[in-house]
Amino acid sequence: MFDYKLLESLERIGALKSFEAAAQELNISQSAISQRITHLEQRIGCILVRRGKSLSLTPTGQALAEHVIKVKQLELDVNHLLNINQYAHQLKIVVNADSLATWWFKATEHFYQQHNVMFDILIEDQSEGLKHLEEGLAMGCLCSSDKPLAGTRCEYLGTMEYRFYCSASFHQRYFSEVHSLEEQQARLTKAPAVIFGADDKLQKQQFQKWGFNENFPYHICPSSEGLADMIVNGQGYGILPIIQAAPFADKLMDMFPEREGILVPLYWHYWQQSGSLLEKLSNVLIGSNVQKLIR
């Protein structure tokens, strides 16, 4: 039999990439959590955590972390079935920041109220989220990939359209009196952009499609709302979902109105046989109302 306190410690270390952070979350000392992992490794007979500057779980460690997440999910389902009104465990999912800032909470509001579920949400770029599902650190994932992992289901939810925006003052400062494509591209090498993070490649990929391959300066703002505020306040230009930009229509300019928007499909991936609550959440997300919200 597994000692699930040890397994929970392993799963939290894998999710947080830190012994110290996992110990704080579990309200134990760093020494105690290190002892738990050492004891578990001795009991299993192999290394479960790769120590070093970049902490990660070994394949065996990942398999055990995935196992404990599924067990917690099953316990949550049992509590729900028996009408035990408590927040026993959290539903671990991966969602991209733009969806959280625009439609996610509207779509899941009634599900949350009906089932008393606590979400444990990991924010990740839509192009990168699937790796957390693959590592067994989440039960569901919202991303732009349509290729399901073995043992998971993949459902298309809708497509978000993005466009390049800036404020009128920013446009006047950097792009006034531009009369040719060459001039426009030259200005782009000097005007500061705003991107979400190092994994945010959407803007660069779109520029490359348009034949612009030069480097450009950029701010990094790992907040969808903060990124929009920086653009609205003239600190840079950037890509926003049109549904996020709509409330600022009087303050933002479409930088390239003659070009087509950037279409990013969204897919919901989730483990099969992972519990009735995750199935119910998936049914909510697959519903037609979500497609309307995404548009």
pLDDT in tens, 147-170: 988 888 999 999 999 999 999 999
d(CA 54, CA 234): 37
Is residue 177, in this structure, part of any structural domain at all? yes
* In the chain, beta strands by DSSP E: 49-50, 56-57, 90-95, 118-123, 140-143, 152-167, 193-195, 218-220, 238-241, 252-254, 262-271
d(CA 252, CA 295): 19
- The predicted-structure confidence for 116-152, as pLDDT tens digits, reads as follows 778 889 888 877 788 888 776 788 999 999 998 888 8
Is residue 179, in this structure, part of any structural domain at all? yes
Is residue 128, in this structure, part of any structural domain at all? no
Is residue 131, in this structure, part of any structural domain at all? no
Per-residue model confidence (pLDDT) at position 94: 93
| Residue 194: pLDDT over 90 | yes
d(CA 6, CA 1): 12
Per the DSSP assignment, residues forming a β-bridge with 162 are 241, 262
For the whole model, what pTM was predicted? 0.72
Per the DSSP assignment, residues forming a β-bridge with 266 are 158
Q: Which two tokens stand for residue 237?
A: 């230009």
Domain count, the chain: 1
Per-residue model confidence (pLDDT) at position 84: 58
- The predicted-structure confidence for 45-101, as pLDDT tens digits, reads as follows 889 999 877 888 999 998 888 888 777 777 766 666 666 555 545 788 999 999 999
- Distance (Å) of CA 101 to CA 95, 97, 98, 243: 10, 6, 5, 10
- The predicted-structure confidence for 229-250, as pLDDT tens digits, reads as follows 999 999 999 999 999 999 999 9
Which residue shows structure tokens 């192999």? 46
- Is 197 within 8 Å of 206 (Cβ atoms)? no
d(CA 31, CA 97): 34
Between 163 and 6, the higher pLDDT residue:
163
- Is 271 within 8 Å of 152 (Cβ atoms)? yes
Which residue shows structure tokens 């609205």? 232
Round the average pLDDT of the chain to a whole number and report it: 87
Is residue 130, in this structure, part of any structural domain at all? no
d(CA 138, CA 271): 9
Is residue 233, in this structure, part of any structural domain at all? yes
- The predicted-structure confidence for 84-100, as pLDDT tens digits, reads as follows 555 545 788 999 999 99
Residues with Cβ < 8 Å from 278, sequence gap 6 or more?
Answer: 73, 91, 139, 140, 270, 271
CATH number at residue 230: 3.40.190.10
Is residue 95, in this structure, part of any structural domain at all? no
Is residue 178, in this structure, part of any structural domain at all? yes
